Each structure stands twice: as structure tokens, then as C-alpha cells.
Amino acid sequence: MPPARNSKLPEVPDGAAVGENRPVLEVLNLRKSYAGIPAVDGVSFTLKHNEIVGLLGPNGAGKTTTINMILGVLQPDAGTIRVDGVDLARQRRRVLACTNFAAVYAPLPGNLTVEQNLRFFAMLYGVRRSGERIEALLRQFDLERFRHSKCGVLSSGEQTRVCLAKALLNEPRLLLLDEPTASLDPATAQDIRRGIRDMARQGGRAILWTSHNMYEVEEVCDRVLLMSRGRILLQGDPRVLPREHGAASLEALFISVAREPLAYQDTRR
């Protein structure tokens, strides 16, 4: 996650909506190509306050490219990204101040202790009263007994909790989670999912979640976006959407979209 020097929420720009009526995230007609081949092809969606949205699709669908553009890591060829009404292209620093990210493939430095990692990233993000914030997160994620343990010796579940604590240091309005429970045992994954659901209900936060675990998506997400070949083909309630398209389950619908994306192009919303 790129550094952001101010953990306060950005001011509302002129003409922006206010409060709960404004989406936390707006993605409008986003496009990105590599060597002339579209990776993301006209993607548009929003995330509301207190909402968890699953971004689903097979490998190569464009999910990671979309997330990297939202994080400011990649520059779109076209389109607009706004967080809390602030345009990422125009005010990148202010947008990143209220955005954060966690993924199982992006572990924290293993030679630093839990507390050292949190202090380092708090300094990187410019978190005010960082000591109090770190103590609150250590309690929230049941990490107090690991504060002096090096992250490299923690279990997968413990490392995931540290990564989530890191991702909440700047109290983000937008949290992006890429396969956050991958490789975890079922009991640990259930605990993590429960904690993430609680996080989404705090402070008007919105969460964009990618996963290949359809059971997990059905349990956690309020809404899903199914991508294939750089486009969002379907979206809706993960518990209802399969029935609307004659599928027995979300997993069956996922497989159908992955294998026959052209059959769903006319149903895009």
C-alpha cells in the first residue's frame, strides 16, 4: 500500500454528495490494456457504506488489474475512480489516505515483531496518536500476546490477523481484500470472516473482496460482481443470483460464466 501522510478523511469537494447518499467507491468506465489486449474493458460499479462486495472471476478476468488501479498502483487508460467523492487521478494522496489493502500473498516483514510492523506502517501512513491506535488494534484482533513475536514465526491465521490490523491503521473508508482467507484452516477462516463482517459495519466502511471460495462469498458478501474477459457480466445478491440464471449454486454460476462468458454479455448491468 503506498504511503499516505494524513489518516483523516478527505474533505468533500465542491459538488459532491454528502453523508450516506454518496458511495464510498465509484468506478466509472475503467479501461486498461496491455499490448493492445484489453485486461479491463469498461468496468463500472459502486460500493455503498457498510457493504461487502465480492469481485469474482476466473484467473485472467481482470480482478487484480482492477484492484491495482483502485489502489493507484496502475494508471488506467481511461475511466474514473472516486473514493468518498474524491477523484483518484486528481487527488491521489487524499484518496489513499482513506484506502487500504490486505492479501495473503503480501505478508508483513517477517523479521519484525507484530508491534514493530504496526509502528512502521503507522508512521508510513501518518497515523495520529499511533500508540493508542496500535493498542486498540492489538486488542481487537487478539494480538496482545504476540506483540513481541516476529511475524515470520506466526501461524497463517495469526499473520492474517496482523495484516488486517495493519490495513485498519489509518481507519480506511475503503478496504480491499484479495483472497484474505486463502490457505487458512476452516475454523480460522470462519473467525476471520466474522471479524471482517464486523469491520464492515463500523464507521461507514466499504469492503471489496476477491475470493475463489464461493461458500465464503455467499456467507460474507452483500453483493457480487462476476467478471470475465475484463468485463462485469453479472451482479447481484450471491444467494439469489444463481437462481435468476438457472444455476444450482453460486459455484455453478461462476463456472458457467468462466466457460461461456459470451452467453452472459447481454445480461450485463
In a domain, 83, yes or no: yes
Residue where a domain stops, chosen among 140, 171, 202: 171
What is the structure's pLDDT at 223?
A: 96
List, for residues 52-106, the tens digit of each pLDDT value. Answer: 999 999 989 999 999 999 999 999 999 999 999 999 999 999 999 999 999 877 8
Tally of structural domains, the chain? 2
Per the DSSP assignment, residues forming a β-bridge with 38 are 33
Domain residue limits at 123: 107-171
Same domain, 195 and 155: no
In a domain, 248, yes or no: yes
Helix axis angle for 186-200 and 156-167, nearest 10°, is 10
Same domain, 183 and 167: no
In a domain, 31, yes or no: no
Same domain, 252 and 222: yes
Residue where a domain stops, chosen among 171, 187, 207: 171
With 50 as the cut, is the pLDDT of residue 164 above it? yes
Same domain, 187 and 258: yes
Report the CATH number that the domain containing residue 259 is assigned in CATH.
3.40.50.300
| Residue of higher predicted confidence among 250 and 194 | 250
Residue where a domain stops, chosen among 129, 145, 171: 171
Kindly report the three-state secondary structure assignment for every residue of the chain.
CCCCCCCCCCCCCCCCCCHHHCCCEEEEEEEEEECCEEEEEEEEEEECCCCEEEEECCCCCCHHHHHHHHCCCCCCCEEEEEECCEECCCCHHHHHCCEEEEECCCCCCCCCEHHHHHHHHHHHHCCCCHHHHHHHHHHHCCCHHHCCCEHHHCCHHHHHHHHHHHHCCCCCCEEEEECCCCCCCHHHHHHHHHHHHHHHCCCCCEEEEECCCHHHHHHHCCEEEEEECCEEEEEECCCCHHHHCCCCCHHHHHHHHHHCHHHHHHHCC
List, for residues 123-140, the tens digit of each pLDDT value. Answer: 999 999 999 999 999 999
Single pTM value for the model: 0.85
- Under 8 Å between Cβ of 221 and 213: no
What is the structure's pLDDT at 199?
A: 79
Same domain, 254 and 198: yes
- Mean pLDDT calculated for residue range 205-227: 93
In angstroms, rounded to a whole number, what is the distance separating the alpha carbons of residues 194 and 144?
19
Same domain, 202 and 258: yes
| Residue of higher predicted confidence among 41 and 192 | 41
Same domain, 181 and 269: yes
With 80 as the cut, is the pLDDT of residue 2 above it? no
With 50 as the cut, is the pLDDT of residue 1 above it? no
In a domain, 162, yes or no: yes
In a domain, 22, yes or no: no
In a domain, 243, yes or no: yes
In a domain, 159, yes or no: yes
Same domain, 179 and 263: yes
Same domain, 244 and 116: no
With 60 as the cut, is the pLDDT of residue 19 above it? no
Same domain, 94 and 120: no
What is the structure's pLDDT at 21?
A: 75
Same domain, 125 and 229: no
With 70 as the cut, is the pLDDT of residue 51 above it? yes
Same domain, 146 and 237: no
In a domain, 24, yes or no: no
